[in-house]
Chain A
Amino acid sequence: MSDYFCASGVRRARHTLLGGLLVALTCGSVLADQNPRDPYEGFNRAMFATNEVIDKYAAKPVAQVYDNAVPLPVKASVGNFFGNAGDLWIGVNSALQGKFGDAGIDLGRLLVNSTVGIFGLFDVASELGLERHDEDFGQTLAVWGVDGGAYLYWPVLGPRNVRDTVGFAVGAYADPVRQVRPVSVRNSMAALRFVDIRASLLPSDRVVEEAALDKYAYIRDAYLQRRRNQVFDGRPPRLDD
């Protein structure tokens, strides 16, 4: 009996929380300038501001230290290692999208780089002409016909529409790094990967900073364009102006 009440209490709390979030989202959309591509702009801009602070004081300084301190061959190997770990999931997504030729190449890359490339530290496969593809579960959902849904800006994760948020969650679940034990090693690996990714974005920071009239809008529109390009594998149909 008490269990039941407890559960319903939790459920009620969850409802209230969800309701609150929904209200916040709706308010955001009412208050902000109406942009059909960004219905929760008010909420998103608040999250964006939060992220800018996290990035300025934590992520970016660490990435800068990493970028300056680590010699290029080591950085390249770190990138290659995580790239190799990611090739399996890329192959799965190629297959899920019906691109079996690509999936074969992805698995071939994994085999070659894990062996000849010494646990993925060297990207031998690319030298052999086996090109790395760019696939993830968000793109698979898009190919299956799932609509992008609203644009959202998450703290830490950054821009992701609803579809890509789901895609990211599924991808995170399937992530091979998640299986690594002990947990301390797994966490170190995840942290290193995060720093590596952040460091690879450092050169574009300045460009965005200089080019944008409104950084939030610039990043949002770049994200939307880039995802569309990825879904169409680099050859999106032209949008008529």
Chain B
Amino acid sequence: MMKKLFALLFASFVVCAAYAQEAPDVLVQRVTDDVLEIIRKDKEIQNGDTHKVIELVEKKVLPNFNFTHMTALALGKEWRKASPQQQQQLTAEFKTLLVRTYANALTGYKNQKVVYKPFKMAAADTDVLVRTEVQQPGNKPVQLDYSLEKLDSGWKVYDVVVAGISLVSNYRDQFGQEVRNGGVDGLIASIAAKNKSLESGQKK
């Protein structure tokens, strides 16, 4: 009895340890497969139920992202000049915007297949790129890469690169423009307004 309990404890410990140290490529593959499997079975999501897919993304995908880092990258030099409160607000609004965009891109997922590219990293690496490819009949495959960094809580995605387009860097100039026009608060207000209009557009 004692032996069994010990074995169980040991097994759960091993599982936990393995989970915490899950390699970045394994993480990307697990989450992608998980999410696509759910979408494939869910008729409501396929029919464009935004709320449902956002819920899915929030539950499965978000815990693996570092939005603060993403927002800092998108803002560039201005990030350090912003107050902690501004940083927090901006991160929250940017997160809402990205989640919605990403979630809606997922509802368009129909006949595509995700292929994982060979991945190599050194044990000491703390910043890696996991490469995948989305294949679709009759179209060129689309490169879909994830930049991940190693934090105490495990590997976290801080950028998604679609066909060579970094979703984060692509906001650089737009953010810069908004900050020049209305400061960081102006930028926060613009993203908030954008989020609001998307939210109300969807209720129609």
Chain A residues near B (Cβ < 8 Å): 33, 35, 37, 72-73, 75-80, 83, 123, 132, 134, 200, 203, 206-207, 210-214, 217-218, 220-222, 225-226, 228-230, 234, 236, 239, 241
Contacts and interface: CB of A to CB of B under 8 A. Distances in A.
Nearest to A213: B174
B12 interface: no
B139 A200 contact: yes
Interface on chain B toward A: helix, strand, loop, or mixed SS? helix
B196 to A, nearest CB: 13
B175 to A, nearest CB: 8
B118 to A, nearest CB: 13
B11 interface: no
Given A80-B138, A203-B108, A234 B164 contact: yes
Contacts of A132: 140-141
A108 B29 CA distance: 32
A211 B97 contact: yes
A217 B173 contact: yes
B52 interface: no
Nearest to A239: B169
Contact of B101 (A73, A207, A229, A239): A207
A218 B174 contact: yes
B20 interface: no
Q: Which residue of A75, A83, A241 has the most chain B CB atoms within 10 A of its CB atom?
A: A241
B165 A211 contact: no
Contacts of B104: 206-207, 210
B111 interface: yes
B169 A221 contact: yes
Given A200-B139, A207-B105, A225 B170 contact: yes
A134 B140 contact: yes
B46 interface: no
Contacts of A79: 137-139
Nearest to B101: A211
A229 B139 contact: no
Contacts of A217: 173-174, 177
Contacts of B140: 83, 132, 134
B173 to A, nearest CB: 5
Q: Which residue of A79, A229, A239 has the most chain B CB atoms within 10 A of its CB atom?
A: A229
Contact of B143 (A35, A78, A207, A234): A234
Given A76-B138, A221-B170, A221-B173, A213 B164 contact: no
Contact of B111 (A72, A207, A212, A218): A72
Nearest to A81: B138
A225 B165 contact: yes
Contacts of A222: 165, 170
